[in-house]
Amino acid sequence: MRLDKDKILSILLVMPSILAVMIFVYGFILWSGRVSLSQWKGLLPNYEWAGLQNYINLFNDPRFHIDVRNTFIFTVLFVFGSLILGLMLAVMLDQGLRGESFFRTVFLFPMAISYIVTGVVWRWLMNPAQGERMSGFNILFERLGLDFLINQWHTTPGWGIAFIAVPAIWQMSGYVMALYLGGLRSIPEPLREAARVDGATELKIYFHVILPLLRPITLSAMIILGHISLKVFDLIVAIAGKQVALDVPAVYMWQTTFDGYFFNRGASIGILLLLSVAVLVIPYLRYSLRSEAEL
Protein backbone atom coordinates (compact mmCIF):
# COMPACT_ATOMS: atom_id res chain seq x y z
CA MET A 1 0.00 0.00 0.00
CA ARG A 2 2.72 2.36 1.06
CA LEU A 3 4.85 1.43 -1.91
CA ASP A 4 2.03 1.99 -4.38
CA LYS A 5 1.36 5.45 -3.05
CA ASP A 6 5.04 6.25 -3.47
CA LYS A 7 5.03 4.86 -6.97
CA ILE A 8 2.21 7.17 -7.96
CA LEU A 9 3.90 10.06 -6.24
CA SER A 10 7.14 9.33 -8.08
CA ILE A 11 5.37 9.46 -11.43
CA LEU A 12 3.60 12.65 -10.40
CA LEU A 13 6.94 14.21 -9.58
CA VAL A 14 8.39 13.74 -13.05
CA MET A 15 5.14 14.23 -14.93
CA PRO A 16 5.41 18.03 -15.24
CA SER A 17 8.87 17.70 -16.73
CA ILE A 18 7.77 14.99 -19.12
CA LEU A 19 4.79 17.06 -20.24
CA ALA A 20 6.93 20.16 -20.67
CA VAL A 21 9.48 18.29 -22.75
CA MET A 22 6.72 16.70 -24.81
CA ILE A 23 5.33 20.11 -25.70
CA PHE A 24 8.44 22.29 -25.84
CA VAL A 25 10.69 19.79 -27.51
CA TYR A 26 8.70 17.17 -29.39
CA GLY A 27 5.63 19.27 -30.07
CA PHE A 28 7.73 22.03 -31.52
CA ILE A 29 9.82 19.58 -33.53
CA LEU A 30 6.63 18.16 -35.02
CA TRP A 31 5.56 21.67 -35.89
CA SER A 32 8.90 22.32 -37.60
CA GLY A 33 8.59 19.06 -39.45
CA ARG A 34 5.16 20.03 -40.70
CA VAL A 35 6.37 23.47 -41.82
CA SER A 36 9.30 21.85 -43.62
CA LEU A 37 6.78 19.98 -45.76
CA SER A 38 4.75 23.08 -46.54
CA GLN A 39 4.89 26.01 -48.96
CA TRP A 40 5.08 28.63 -46.22
CA LYS A 41 6.90 31.64 -47.62
CA GLY A 42 5.97 35.09 -46.38
CA LEU A 43 4.98 36.45 -43.02
CA LEU A 44 1.84 34.42 -42.36
CA PRO A 45 1.50 30.62 -42.19
CA ASN A 46 0.70 28.65 -45.31
CA TYR A 47 0.53 24.94 -44.64
CA GLU A 48 -0.11 23.90 -48.24
CA TRP A 49 1.58 20.60 -48.88
CA ALA A 50 4.94 20.68 -50.65
CA GLY A 51 6.13 17.14 -50.04
CA LEU A 52 9.88 16.80 -49.89
CA GLN A 53 10.45 19.67 -52.30
CA ASN A 54 12.12 21.89 -49.70
CA TYR A 55 14.60 19.16 -48.88
CA ILE A 56 15.31 18.46 -52.54
CA ASN A 57 15.94 22.16 -53.08
CA LEU A 58 18.39 22.21 -50.20
CA PHE A 59 20.34 19.27 -51.55
CA ASN A 60 20.72 21.21 -54.80
CA ASP A 61 21.47 24.50 -53.07
CA PRO A 62 25.14 25.52 -53.49
CA ARG A 63 24.92 27.59 -50.31
CA PHE A 64 23.83 24.55 -48.34
CA HIS A 65 26.79 22.62 -49.76
CA ILE A 66 29.09 25.31 -48.38
CA ASP A 67 27.28 25.03 -45.03
CA VAL A 68 27.86 21.30 -44.84
CA ARG A 69 31.53 21.63 -45.71
CA ASN A 70 32.04 24.48 -43.23
CA THR A 71 30.27 22.60 -40.46
CA PHE A 72 32.40 19.55 -41.08
CA ILE A 73 35.68 21.49 -40.96
CA PHE A 74 34.60 23.47 -37.94
CA THR A 75 33.37 20.43 -36.03
CA VAL A 76 36.52 18.42 -36.58
CA LEU A 77 38.85 21.25 -35.57
CA PHE A 78 36.74 22.45 -32.68
CA VAL A 79 36.09 19.03 -31.15
CA PHE A 80 39.61 17.68 -31.49
CA GLY A 81 41.23 21.03 -30.68
CA SER A 82 39.24 21.35 -27.47
CA LEU A 83 39.84 17.73 -26.49
CA ILE A 84 43.59 17.86 -27.06
CA LEU A 85 44.08 21.25 -25.46
CA GLY A 86 41.78 20.36 -22.56
CA LEU A 87 43.60 17.10 -21.96
CA MET A 88 47.01 18.79 -22.11
CA LEU A 89 45.93 21.42 -19.62
CA ALA A 90 44.44 18.79 -17.33
CA VAL A 91 47.59 16.66 -17.39
CA MET A 92 49.78 19.68 -16.67
CA LEU A 93 47.54 20.71 -13.79
CA ASP A 94 47.46 17.18 -12.47
CA GLN A 95 51.14 17.40 -11.53
CA GLY A 96 50.31 19.09 -8.24
CA LEU A 97 52.06 22.36 -9.01
CA ARG A 98 51.62 25.34 -6.73
CA GLY A 99 49.07 27.83 -8.11
CA GLU A 100 46.92 25.11 -9.63
CA SER A 101 43.65 26.76 -8.60
CA PHE A 102 44.70 30.05 -10.22
CA PHE A 103 45.34 28.35 -13.54
CA ARG A 104 42.16 26.34 -13.29
CA THR A 105 40.11 29.50 -12.83
CA VAL A 106 41.84 31.25 -15.73
CA PHE A 107 41.23 28.34 -18.08
CA LEU A 108 37.63 27.94 -17.03
CA PHE A 109 36.50 31.57 -17.06
CA PRO A 110 35.83 31.93 -20.84
CA MET A 111 32.90 29.59 -20.31
CA ALA A 112 31.30 32.26 -18.17
CA ILE A 113 31.11 34.87 -20.91
CA SER A 114 28.80 34.95 -23.90
CA TYR A 115 29.78 35.84 -27.42
CA ILE A 116 27.52 38.87 -27.21
CA VAL A 117 30.33 40.12 -24.98
CA THR A 118 33.50 38.69 -26.50
CA GLY A 119 32.53 38.50 -30.18
CA VAL A 120 33.72 41.99 -31.00
CA VAL A 121 37.01 41.47 -29.20
CA TRP A 122 37.65 38.36 -31.22
CA ARG A 123 36.80 40.19 -34.39
CA TRP A 124 39.44 42.74 -33.52
CA LEU A 125 41.99 40.13 -32.52
CA MET A 126 41.59 38.24 -35.75
CA ASN A 127 41.76 41.31 -37.97
CA PRO A 128 43.42 40.22 -41.19
CA ALA A 129 44.65 43.63 -42.46
CA GLN A 130 48.26 43.72 -43.62
CA GLY A 131 50.82 46.50 -43.95
CA GLU A 132 50.24 49.79 -42.17
CA ARG A 133 46.77 48.88 -40.96
CA MET A 134 47.93 45.66 -39.35
CA SER A 135 46.36 45.05 -35.94
CA GLY A 136 45.12 42.37 -33.59
CA PHE A 137 47.18 39.18 -33.24
CA ASN A 138 49.00 39.90 -36.49
CA ILE A 139 50.66 43.06 -35.20
CA LEU A 140 51.52 41.24 -31.99
CA PHE A 141 53.19 38.49 -33.98
CA GLU A 142 55.11 41.07 -35.98
CA ARG A 143 56.40 42.83 -32.89
CA LEU A 144 57.43 39.54 -31.34
CA GLY A 145 59.28 38.59 -34.52
CA LEU A 146 56.90 35.73 -35.24
CA ASP A 147 56.14 36.94 -38.76
CA PHE A 148 55.49 33.43 -40.04
CA LEU A 149 52.36 33.32 -37.88
CA ILE A 150 50.81 36.36 -39.59
CA ASN A 151 47.84 35.22 -41.59
CA GLN A 152 44.47 36.19 -43.00
CA TRP A 153 42.49 34.47 -40.25
CA HIS A 154 38.86 33.97 -41.09
CA THR A 155 39.20 35.73 -44.44
CA THR A 156 41.52 33.01 -45.75
CA PRO A 157 39.86 31.95 -49.00
CA GLY A 158 38.11 28.61 -48.64
CA TRP A 159 39.43 27.84 -45.15
CA GLY A 160 38.24 30.85 -43.18
CA ILE A 161 35.92 28.69 -41.11
CA ALA A 162 38.91 26.86 -39.66
CA PHE A 163 39.96 30.00 -37.81
CA ILE A 164 36.53 30.47 -36.26
CA ALA A 165 37.42 27.37 -34.26
CA VAL A 166 40.07 29.38 -32.38
CA PRO A 167 37.67 31.42 -30.23
CA ALA A 168 35.39 28.39 -29.90
CA ILE A 169 38.27 26.34 -28.52
CA TRP A 170 39.18 29.26 -26.29
CA GLN A 171 35.72 29.12 -24.80
CA MET A 172 35.21 25.39 -24.34
CA SER A 173 38.66 23.88 -23.70
CA GLY A 174 38.52 24.90 -20.04
CA TYR A 175 35.39 22.87 -19.61
CA VAL A 176 37.06 19.85 -21.18
CA MET A 177 40.02 20.42 -18.88
CA ALA A 178 37.70 20.34 -15.88
CA LEU A 179 36.12 17.09 -17.01
CA TYR A 180 39.51 15.44 -17.56
CA LEU A 181 40.95 16.79 -14.36
CA GLY A 182 38.00 15.29 -12.51
CA GLY A 183 38.68 11.99 -14.25
CA LEU A 184 42.40 12.07 -13.50
CA ARG A 185 41.79 12.79 -9.84
CA SER A 186 39.40 9.88 -9.56
CA ILE A 187 42.01 7.41 -10.80
CA PRO A 188 43.32 5.70 -7.68
CA GLU A 189 46.96 6.48 -6.90
CA PRO A 190 47.85 2.79 -6.26
CA LEU A 191 47.19 2.11 -9.93
CA ARG A 192 49.89 4.59 -10.93
CA GLU A 193 52.19 3.32 -8.20
CA ALA A 194 51.82 -0.21 -9.46
CA ALA A 195 52.79 0.89 -12.95
CA ARG A 196 55.75 2.84 -11.58
CA VAL A 197 56.91 -0.20 -9.69
CA ASP A 198 56.74 -2.12 -12.94
CA GLY A 199 59.23 0.41 -14.30
CA ALA A 200 56.93 2.40 -16.57
CA THR A 201 57.87 6.02 -17.29
CA GLU A 202 55.36 8.75 -16.45
CA LEU A 203 54.64 9.22 -20.16
CA LYS A 204 53.95 5.52 -20.59
CA ILE A 205 51.69 5.54 -17.56
CA TYR A 206 49.62 8.29 -19.16
CA PHE A 207 49.35 6.57 -22.50
CA HIS A 208 48.82 3.00 -21.38
CA VAL A 209 47.13 3.25 -18.01
CA ILE A 210 45.39 6.57 -17.67
CA LEU A 211 44.13 7.51 -21.13
CA PRO A 212 42.17 4.28 -21.60
CA LEU A 213 40.47 4.92 -18.26
CA LEU A 214 39.43 8.36 -19.44
CA ARG A 215 37.64 7.07 -22.50
CA PRO A 216 34.08 7.57 -21.14
CA ILE A 217 34.91 11.21 -20.41
CA THR A 218 36.29 11.68 -23.91
CA LEU A 219 33.11 10.27 -25.33
CA SER A 220 30.75 12.49 -23.39
CA ALA A 221 32.90 15.56 -24.04
CA MET A 222 32.79 14.73 -27.75
CA ILE A 223 29.01 14.59 -27.67
CA ILE A 224 28.69 17.89 -25.85
CA LEU A 225 31.21 19.65 -28.10
CA GLY A 226 29.84 18.03 -31.22
CA HIS A 227 26.32 19.26 -30.70
CA ILE A 228 27.56 22.73 -29.79
CA SER A 229 29.44 22.89 -33.05
CA LEU A 230 26.44 21.80 -35.10
CA LYS A 231 24.40 24.58 -33.55
CA VAL A 232 27.09 27.27 -33.67
CA PHE A 233 25.49 30.62 -34.45
CA ASP A 234 26.28 33.61 -32.19
CA LEU A 235 30.00 33.17 -32.59
CA ILE A 236 29.92 33.28 -36.38
CA VAL A 237 27.53 36.21 -36.54
CA ALA A 238 29.55 38.16 -33.96
CA ILE A 239 32.84 37.68 -35.76
CA ALA A 240 31.95 37.47 -39.41
CA GLY A 241 28.48 38.92 -39.80
CA LYS A 242 26.32 37.09 -42.26
CA GLN A 243 28.47 36.12 -45.19
CA VAL A 244 28.16 33.07 -47.35
CA ALA A 245 31.86 32.18 -47.18
CA LEU A 246 31.55 31.47 -43.44
CA ASP A 247 27.99 30.27 -43.53
CA VAL A 248 26.77 27.40 -41.34
CA PRO A 249 23.32 25.80 -41.22
CA ALA A 250 22.13 27.66 -38.13
CA VAL A 251 22.98 31.03 -39.70
CA TYR A 252 21.35 30.08 -42.99
CA MET A 253 18.28 28.93 -41.10
CA TRP A 254 18.03 32.23 -39.23
CA GLN A 255 18.63 34.37 -42.29
CA THR A 256 16.31 32.53 -44.63
CA THR A 257 13.54 32.43 -42.01
CA PHE A 258 13.65 35.88 -40.50
CA ASP A 259 15.28 37.98 -43.21
CA GLY A 260 13.77 36.26 -46.22
CA TYR A 261 10.55 34.77 -44.75
CA PHE A 262 11.25 31.33 -46.27
CA PHE A 263 9.77 29.55 -43.27
CA ASN A 264 9.57 26.29 -45.20
CA ARG A 265 13.27 26.27 -46.04
CA GLY A 266 14.28 27.38 -42.54
CA ALA A 267 12.29 24.55 -40.99
CA SER A 268 13.88 22.04 -43.38
CA ILE A 269 17.35 23.16 -42.32
CA GLY A 270 16.28 22.84 -38.69
CA ILE A 271 15.04 19.31 -39.22
CA LEU A 272 18.23 18.30 -41.05
CA LEU A 273 20.27 19.73 -38.19
CA LEU A 274 18.23 17.71 -35.72
CA LEU A 275 18.67 14.56 -37.76
CA SER A 276 22.43 15.00 -37.83
CA VAL A 277 22.46 15.59 -34.09
CA ALA A 278 20.36 12.45 -33.67
CA VAL A 279 22.83 10.41 -35.71
CA LEU A 280 25.54 11.61 -33.37
CA VAL A 281 23.67 11.30 -30.09
CA ILE A 282 21.42 8.27 -30.26
CA PRO A 283 24.20 5.66 -30.58
CA TYR A 284 25.94 7.36 -27.68
CA LEU A 285 22.83 7.32 -25.51
CA ARG A 286 22.30 3.64 -26.30
CA TYR A 287 25.90 2.85 -25.54
CA SER A 288 26.01 4.64 -22.23
CA LEU A 289 22.66 3.34 -21.04
CA ARG A 290 23.63 -0.20 -21.97
CA SER A 291 27.03 -0.07 -20.32
CA GLU A 292 25.29 1.31 -17.25
CA ALA A 293 22.90 -1.63 -17.22
CA GLU A 294 25.87 -3.99 -17.32
CA LEU A 295 27.34 -2.46 -14.18
Partner 1 sequence: MSKKNWYALLAILLIGAMALTACGGQEPATEVAPEGGKSEVEVFSWWTGGGEAAGLEAMIAIFNEKYPDIEFINATVAGGAGTNARAVLATRLQAGDAPDSWQGHAGQELIGTYVAADQIEPLNFLYEENGWLEVMPATLIPLISQNDNIYSVPVNIHRANVLWYNPKILDENGIAVPTTMDEWFAAMDALKAAGVETPLAMGEQWTAMHLLETVLLGSMDPAAYNGLWDGSTAWDGPEVKAAIENFERILTYTNSDATSLSWQDASQLVVEGDAAFNVMGDWAEGYFRELGKAPNADYGWAPVPGTGGTFQFLSDSFVMAKNAPHRDACIAWLTVAGSKEGQDAFNPVKGSIPARSDGDRNLYGEYLQSAMDDWASDVVVGSLTHGVVANDSWKTEIDTALGLYLGSGDIAAFQSALAAACATSGPCK
Partner 2 sequence: MNRSRSRYYWLYIPLSLMALFYLVPLYVMLVTGFKGFEEVSLQTMWSLPKTGIHFDNFTEAGTKLAPYFWNSLKMVIPAAIISSIVGSLNGYVLSKWKFKGADIIFPLILFGMFIPYQSILIPLVEFMRRINLYGTIPGLVLTHVIYGIPITTLTFRNYYATVPTELVEAARIDGAGLMGIYRYVLLPISIPSFVVVIIWQFTSAWNDYLFAVALTDPQHWPITVGLNNMAGSQIIAWNVQMAGSFLAALPTLLVYLFLGRYFLRGLMAGALKG
Report in angstroms how near the CB of residue 42 gets to partner 2 at its nearest. 13
CB of 242 to partner 1, least distance (A): 7
- Shortest reach from residue 49's CB to partner 2, in Å: 19
Sign for the pseudo-dihedral over CA of 232, 237, 242, 244: negative
Among partner 1, partner 2, none, what binds residue 294 when CB lies within 5 to 8 Å by partner kind? Answer: none
Q: In 30-188, which ranges are E strands?
A: none
Nearer to partner 1, 125 or 230 (CB): 125
Binding partner of residue 283 among partner 2, partner 1, none, CB under 5 to 8 Å per kind?
none
Nearer to partner 2, 66 or 89 (CB): 89
Choose between 260 and 283: whose C-beta lies nearer to partner 1.
260
* 120 vs 158 by CB, closer to partner 2: 120
155 binds, among partner 1, partner 2, none (CB under 5 to 8 A by kind): partner 1
177: left (phi over 0), alpha (psi -120 to 50) or beta: alpha
Chain positions contacting partner 1, by CB under 8 A: 41-45, 62-63, 66, 123, 126-133, 152-155, 157-158, 160, 237, 240-247, 254-262
Helix axes 160-186, 100-108, angle to 10 degrees: 140
- Distance from C-alpha of 243 to C-alpha of 129, rounded to nearest angstrom: 18
Q: Which does 244 bind (CB under 5 to 8 A by kind): partner 1, partner 2, none?
A: partner 1
Which lies closer to partner 1 via its Cβ, residue 27 or residue 42? 42
Q: Residue 271: how many CB atoms within 10 A of its CB?
A: 18
Q: Which does 73 bind (CB under 5 to 8 A by kind): partner 1, partner 2, none?
A: none
Name the residue among 220, 234, 290 with its Cα closest to residue 113: 234
SS3 157: coil
* Calpha distance 145→147 (Å, rounded): 6
Q: Provide the minimum distance between the beta carbon of 137 and partner 2 in the complex, in angstroms, as a whole number.
A: 8
From partner 2, partner 1, none, interface partner of 255 (C-beta below 5 to 8 A by class): partner 1
Instruction: Kindly state the smallest distance separating residue 11's Cβ from partner 1, in Å.
Output: 27
How far apart, in whole angstroms, are the C-alpha atoms of residue 269 and residue 247?
13
Q: For residue 226, what are the CA distances in angstroms to 71, 74, 95?
A: 10, 10, 29
End-to-end CA distance of the chain: 31
CB of 118 to partner 2, least distance (A): 5
* Residue pair 262/41 in contact by the 8 Å Cβ criterion: yes
Residue 161 vs 268, nearer CB to partner 2: 268
Query: Computed from CA positions of residues 165, 64, 36, 280, in that sequence, does the dihedral angle turn out positive or negative?
Result: negative
